[in-house]
């Protein structure tokens, strides 16, 4: 259900939605047959336009993105047994039977985006490169055009903003504090701050980075860009006090640095934790040295399979440990592997998580299956 809602959020941002339909209604309104929705551009801004189809009449309601996502999420949980999202790239079919959920994704080709004024390229969050920070970070040239060598980076940043922006809009704080662990040059920090600022959303963005030169450069560029509540601080991930953080993010923090970021987010009680892992050495070493279920030998005896399996097991355990810590969690590809092989994103939102006991039991089963003694994140959490 959360994956379906996230796909809807992303489709709204990048303009790829062609149609949404909710069916199987079993709520209190006897005459309501179905609900259809599409993205529209009004004078007041972009909205999701919902048409409630009754036996004898139709009623239209235009909702802002936060209202639309809440309506769909609550509806799928309580009143609608099915939903279908159609985009220019794929169809996503959701079905619910009691407490069981099913999601089927079908790729499509040749489907055009609706409303020519909202084509996907034009509606990218960072459609223009004529920003001080973009030129300073080498994304665009003096003419404002994205450099050929930076096309992949530009595409990645856009996708991250498309994903993060709706999630940040859902945070309860009026002015959320967003902490980026291992910020580097701050590509995402500048992009996200710029986009939110353009949407009229005030946020405090803090980039945590160990290298003093990058911290100095980031703060100078933030000042030049006029981003008053964007700043960079010199610290390691574990040394930084993340208290008060509403969201903790980390992109491509190597190996256990990803776990450090997750731990700091959990410790701070952040509403949102989102990490794109990089390297998975800690668990892989244990898998290579340990005694796994011999039925997995046909896979694990091949180095390339071992590497891929270690990545999946590492991130799967991270997701389970987040669930055990009170977060509902999903893992998905945020950009094509044609642009980066490290393309998985773990998104965890506080609340509505499953059973802690069930999650920890599954962690134990997975460790036994793959010959793993202990996940680094377990140690941080004291488990």
Q: How far is CA 87 from CA 42, 65, 106, 118, 194, in A?
A: 21, 17, 10, 13, 27
Most confident listed range (93-107, 201-215, 285-299): 201-215
- pLDDT tens-digit map of 283-329: 778 877 777 767 777 776 766 777 788 888 989 999 999 999 999 99
Residues constituting the chain? 383
Among the residues of the chain, which ranges form H helices?
Answer: 2-14, 65-78, 132-136, 151-169, 187-198, 212-225, 257-268, 281-289, 297-300, 303-324, 356-370, 376-381
Residue 113 pLDDT exceeds 70: no
Q: Which two tokens stand for residue 88?
A: 């220019």
What span, in angstroms and rounded, lies between the C-alpha atoms of 250 and 262? 8
For residue 210, the 8-state DSSP code is S
Distance CA 15, CA 114 (A): 8
**260: closest CA among 244, 246, 278?**
278
Residue bearing tokens 């006991």? 357
Token match 């080498």: residue?
A: 138
The domain spans of the chain are: 2-107, 125-381
Confidence band, pLDDT 50/70/90 cuts, at residue 121: very low
Give the pair of three-digit tokens for residue 123. Answer: 């509606």
Is residue 117 pLDDT above 60, yes or no?
Answer: no
- DSSP assignment of 29-44: -TTEEEEEEEEEEETT
Token duo for residue 337? 């592997």
- Dmax over CA atoms of the chain, in Å, equals 68
Between 140-154, 220-234, 338-352, the lowest mean confidence (pLDDT) is in 338-352
What confidence tier does 127 reach under pLDDT thresholds 50, 70, 90? low
Q: How far apart are CA 60 and CA 36, in angstroms?
A: 9
* pLDDT, averaged across the chain: 86
Which of the two residues, 87 and 122, has the higher pLDDT score? 87
**Beta strand pairing call for 247-254 and 177-181:** parallel
Buried b (16+ CB within 10 A) or exposed e, 228-256: eebbbeeeebeebebeebbbbbbbebebb
**Is the CB of residue 58 less than 8 Å from the CB of residue 48?**
no
Question: So what's the pLDDT on residue 159?
Answer: 81
| Domain range 125-381, CATH class | alpha beta
The stretches of 49-139 forming alpha helices (DSSP H) are 65-78, 132-136
pTM of the model: 0.68
């Amino acid at each position: 259900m959360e994956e379906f809602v996230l796909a809807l959020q992303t489709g709204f941002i990048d303009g790829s939605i062609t149609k949404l339909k909710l069916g199987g209604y079993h709520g209190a309104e006897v005459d309501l047959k179905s609900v259809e929705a599409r993205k529209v551009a009004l004078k007041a801004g972009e909205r999701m336009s919902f048409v409630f189809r009754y036996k004898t009449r139709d009623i239209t309601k235009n909702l802002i993105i936060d209202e639309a996502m809440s309506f769909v999420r609550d509806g799928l949980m309580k009143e609608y047994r099915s939903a279908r999202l159609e985009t220019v790239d794929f169809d996503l079919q959701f079905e619910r039977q009691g407490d069981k959920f099913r999601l089927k994704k079908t790729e499509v080709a040749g489907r055009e985006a609706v409303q020519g004024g909202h084509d996907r390229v034009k509606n990218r969050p960072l459609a223009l490169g004529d920003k001080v920070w973009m030129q300073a970070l080498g994304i665009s040239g003096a003419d404002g055009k994205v450099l050929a060598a930076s096309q992949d980076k530009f595409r990645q940043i856009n996708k991250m903003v498309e994903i993060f922006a709706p999630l940040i809009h859902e945070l309860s704080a009026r002015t959320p504090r967003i902490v980026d662990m291992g910020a580097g040059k701050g590509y995402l920090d500048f992009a996200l701050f710029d986009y939110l600022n353009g949407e009229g959303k005030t946020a405090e963005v803090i980039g945590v980075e160990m290298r003093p030169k990058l911290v100095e450069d980031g703060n100078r560029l933030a000042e030049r860009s006029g981003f008053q509540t964007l700043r960079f601080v010199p610290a390691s991930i574990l040394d930084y006090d993340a208290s008060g953080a509403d969201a903790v993010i980390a992109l491509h923090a190597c190996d256990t640095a990803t776990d450090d970021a997750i731990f700091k987010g959990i410790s701070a009680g952040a509403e949102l934790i989102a990490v794109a892992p990089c390297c998975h050495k800690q668990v892989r070493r244990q898998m290579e040295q340990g005694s796994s279920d011999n039925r997995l030998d046909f896979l694990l005896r091949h180095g390339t399979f071992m590497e891929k399996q270690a990545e999946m097991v590492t991130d799967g355990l991270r997701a389970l440990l987040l669930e055990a810590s009170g977060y509902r969690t999903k893992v998905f590809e945020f950009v094509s592997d044609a642009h980066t092989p490290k393309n998985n994103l773990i998104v965890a939102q506080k609340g509505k998580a499953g059973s802690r006991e069930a999650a920890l039991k599954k962690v134990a089963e997975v460790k036994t299956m793959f010959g793993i003694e202990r996940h680094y994140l377990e140690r941080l959490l004291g488990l």
